[in-house]
Chains A and B, each alone.
Chain A
């Protein structure tokens, strides 16, 4: 009897030790996964910085592309990117926010609303190159806009529209119902409530979504290649119907060349692109923080 109890307690202790051991082993594996992700990110950034910094200069930013790596710069691509982003925002913001307002404030619960919602979720995960083919057929071809900034901007607007819609809906959904009820109690119509209460209060959240959408658009190369093809530009676009190139395409162009010097230029271009992206994200975080403080008060 005593012997048995002793035996059981020994088995029990051994089993506990084993379970704890397995737990610890897996804990180290999970920790390792986090480290792999972080080390991957750091390696990538270090690689870009060490290769790119020697090539980075004011001359690099203000020069046109060239066959001679020493003289080449990213100016036309930078200007193309600014043009493209500006126009994309003009199309995306009113339509994306409008769709979000409709779905949150107006839409009845019926099959059409469900179809629109399902459809937006699907559009969010259509590969970006497919949008490029859409733009190539409809904007470049049928609407005869040519391989222009306008065609590129319309294409990118469609690509990032789901991001703006989803983010704006979240921002609008987060507003307390009391805001709207107070306005209705004052006798406002639905549109007055939307225009004077809902949109201003949800604006910081909407802006955050717009910035995130733009930072997605700024790094997109594939759909823009389908629209603009690969062009060698030594002028700055002056109208929306001009041909253009953007930073990711210029970087891609430099990566594809065999000479090592162009790899360095590509890294320098990547640094400029990442700095722009980082500033946009910092702005989004700043807006989000301000917004959170305001609702808590």
Chain B
């Protein structure tokens, strides 16, 4: 319909005087150019994804010529810059998973507790204060969390685990958990608030307590949003870089012991970027191979979360 209006407009001008007709043409050309520019802007996002894949794959090819994919994915020793060199990525993957699991154990129960409190118990005025205050946590730069982990959390934990090093998976994971609390709580709360009041009121009318309403009505109805928030928090934790670089250590190790010093995939990439590794060397290419694996892991999580939304999302 909008297109029709444009057409009839230029026709009217064409029937009118000539000066106005060139004005109308200029408007059409300008509009055309603008539309093409805007389309290019939108297509740039696709170019970004292509750029990510091309840059990671093209640089990893050199790596995978020398190291087989099988050796990379199943090897249990990661010493790419020490002799004897060994390129088994599993210690980095295990380190990443260890920190991620610790952070999720912290963030999911607390984030869910906050979401239930805000959506079911808190009066509107209190909600309006608490929500933005907690979201500050998500806006604090990650180097600040790293600083917090090694200057306060690690020394405090060392009083409990006396043989623990200052750099360890536990304090990095705990602090990362604090950081991702608002991701879980915000998205879950949005989903819980979207559950229609009438459903909750129905349960209240049957004599349910607030907790029973939350447990048996709100959470099941908001489940797709809650699961999405947990998956996104997981994906964020896997890709988080500065906290683990600062606080988790730099010793790739196959261990699920939380008080050990470990290294994650992201921390390895930063460690190698800090040195001026010569372009094109095998060491330089390792960061792209690890980056490619990291990208694929987070991509799977993201697609999974979108699938959950499209498959399970209920509109009321």
Contacts and interface: CB of A to CB of B under 8 A. Distances in A.
Interface stretch (A29-37, A55-63, A68-76, A82-90): A29-37
Contacts of B30: 191
Interface stretch (B82-90, B252-260, B266-274): B266-274
A253 to B, nearest CB: 10
B143 interface: yes
B147 A130 contact: no
Interface in A262-281: 263, 266-267, 270, 273-274, 277, 281
Contacts of A99: 38, 41-42, 44-45
Contacts of B118: 34
Contact of B52 (A38, A48, A126): A126
Task: Please classify the interface of chain B as helix (H, G, I), strand (E, B), loop, or mixed, using the class held by over half of its residues.
Answer: helix
Interface of A is mostly: helix
Interface stretch (B64-72, B73-81, B106-114, B191-199): B106-114
Contacts of A130: 52, 56, 239, 291, 294-295, 298
Contacts of B212: 19, 23
A13 interface: no
B128 interface: no
Contact of A34 (B43, B117, B151): B117
B58 interface: yes
B43 A116 contact: yes
B141 A184 contact: no
A129 B113 contact: no
A220 B270 CA distance: 13
Contacts of B130: 34, 38
Contact-residue size bin, chain A (C-beta under 8 Å from the other chain): 35 or more
Contacts of B181: 37, 40
B113 A29 contact: yes
Contact of A30 (B43, B116, B239, B288): B116
A20 B37 CA distance: 62
B121 to A, nearest CB: 6
Interface of A: 19-20, 22-23, 26-27, 29-34, 36-38, 40-41, 43-44, 47-48, 51, 94-99, 101-103, 105-107, 115-116, 118-123, 125-134, 136-138, 141, 158, 161-162, 165, 184, 187, 189-192, 194-195, 215-216, 218-222, 225-226, 229-230, 248, 251-252, 255-256, 263, 266-267, 270, 273-274, 277, 281
Given A94-B41, A123-B48, 18 more contacts: A19-B209, A33-B110, A34-B130, A37-B181, A41-B136, A47-B151, A126-B302, A129-B239, A130-B52, A130-B298, A133-B56, A137-B56, A138-B55, A162-B45, A216-B139, A226-B273, A252-B246, A267-B147
16 contacts: A36-B110, A37-B178, A37-B182, A40-B178, A41-B137, A107-B42, A133-B287, A134-B56, A137-B59, A165-B45, A221-B241, A226-B270, A248-B141, A248-B242, A263-B151, A266-B147
Interface of B: 2-3, 5-6, 9, 12, 27-28, 30-31, 34-35, 37-46, 48-49, 51-52, 55-56, 58-59, 109-114, 116-118, 121, 130, 133-134, 136-137, 139-148, 150-152, 178, 181-182, 185, 209-212, 232, 235-236, 238-242, 245-246, 266, 269-270, 273-276, 279, 287-288, 291, 294-295, 298-299, 301-303, 306
